[in-house]
Amino acid sequence: MNLLQIWHYHRPELAKIYLDTLNAGLVTSTTIFAPRRAGKTSFLRKDLSPAAEAAGYVVVYADLWQTKLSPGVSLVRAMEQALEQKTTLQNITAKLKVPVRKLKASAEMAGSKLEGELEFDRGDKKIQTEIALQIDTLMEELCRRKPVLLLIDEAQELAKTREHEAVATALRTALTKNQARLRVVFTGSSRTQLAHVFSNSDAPLYSTGAAIMDFPLLDRNFVDYVAVKFAASTKRTLPVAQAWEFFLKFKQQPEPFLMGIVDMVLNPAHSLDDAMALVAGKLAHADNHEGVWASLDATQKALARMLAKDPALKPFSHATLVELRRQIGVDSLKTTHIQRAMTTLQYVVVKSPRDTYEFENPAFAHWIRTLAD
């Protein structure tokens, strides 16, 4: 049971604020920050999208978290889907100046389904060029028809590799060319990584995302709303004051809170305390900070601590080697040991194109800084 979808708490006033800001013309894009599970995606899909469509926009939604290895393909597919009801892909891709190795589409005339397939077997540089051309062509066609609202979820993925930055550069070109008919909302769950995309002077989308704004967290009204829904569904009463306290413990994130409510709906014998304790346990197991930490050796733990405190750390510098020797008490530690440790940590920490290190899960970095033994 997905109560996050069934019991979605609509925020039309917030959607209007974002649309009014973009429609005013002072900025053509904005960036929203909030941790994962804070309800950003639900808001984009269920509040901002319908409001934008009612205002005359065609909405393009791309979730880069789901396609972390290829954000360019995700963007292309999102734009294809926005065009599918009225246009076959052959008409659009015919405009490409560089032919794609294989790009085929089949469409039923009723518009019920259209499938696109991309298949590349050449060098990465050529692939990036072709993706860039598709982004440019598809966006131009979309903007020619109607004003476009482009929603890019988890935009920090655009800063993960040089290849991803190439996609960001192509996107920036498309945004500049179509700025009269295009508005963009970026979201992200890592403020530091979003800065790598938008705020640093050498970032691929420098200044394009405007200021990074905090996504307003849900308040007590959300818990009241859930209590009404719970009573209507179960004929039982949800203790609102106690539920609000649990919601605060979950940092006002609707997803884990509603997981507990689902448990109460499906298991009437469970109290609110029982349900929320169960969810807290599941989240701890899912994140498994303790398990990941326990799997690291002394050198890896020391490096993780240092990187959590200083993303600009140079792991292979002499100063780092000296500090690691001091922390773990091994005078014979060598650079080769650090290299092996960093290889293990590559699943935990990623290096950005600007030579800083970011944790794949920012919550794990916070856990290391505050709780790791």
For the chain, give every domain's residue range.
3-214, 220-287, 295-370
- Residue in 300, 279, 282 with CA at minimum distance from that of residue 368: 300
Q: Which residues pair with 33 in a beta bridge?
A: 188, 214
Highest mean pLDDT among 62-71, 150-159, 161-170, 218-227: 218-227
pLDDT at res. 285: 67
Q: Which residue has the higher pLDDT, 351 or 224?
A: 224
State yes or no: pLDDT of 316 exceeds 50.
yes
Q: Where are the alpha helices (DSSP H) in 116-239?
A: 124-145, 162-177, 191-198, 220-234
The mean-pLDDT minimum among 159-168, 187-196, 230-239, 362-371 falls in: 159-168
Tell me which range, 44-53, 247-256, 338-347, is most confidently predicted by mean pLDDT. 44-53
Percent of all residues in the chain with a pLDDT value above 70, rounded to a whole number:
80
Q: Give the number of C-alpha atoms closer than 13 A to the C-alpha of residue 280, restricted to the C-beta side.
A: 12
Rounded Cα distance, 221 and 11, in Å: 11
pLDDT at 200 (0 to 100)? 65
Bridge partners, 149 (sequence order): 59, 183
Question: Mean pLDDT, to the nearest integer, of 247-265?
Answer: 92
Which pLDDT score, from 0 to 100, does residue 121 have?
42
The per-residue pLDDT for 120 is 41
pLDDT at 26: 81
The confidence score (pLDDT) of residue 139 equals 93
Residue 209, pLDDT above cutoff 70: no
Average pLDDT score over residue span 12-27: 92
Q: What is the mean pLDDT of the chain?
A: 82
pTM: 0.72
**What is the predicted pLDDT for the residue at 372?**
66
Share of the chain above pLDDT 90, in %: 48
Question: Which pLDDT score is estimated for 64?
Answer: 87
* pLDDT above 70 (res 210): no
Which tokens go with 75? 């963007």
Q: Taking 80 as the threshold, does the pLDDT of residue 126 lie above it?
A: no
Categorize the per-residue pLDDT at 124 as very low, low, confident or very high, splitting at 50, 70 and 90.
Answer: low
What was the pLDDT predicted at 34? 86
Task: Identify the CATH number of the domain defined by range 3-214.
Answer: 3.40.50.300
The string of pLDDT tens digits covering residues 48-89 is 999 999 999 999 999 987 766 678 888 999 999 998 855 544
- Vertex 15: Cα angle to 6 and 241 (nearest 5): 55
Segment 86-108 shows an average pLDDT of: 42
Compute CA distances 47 → 19, 54, 258, whole Å. 11, 11, 19
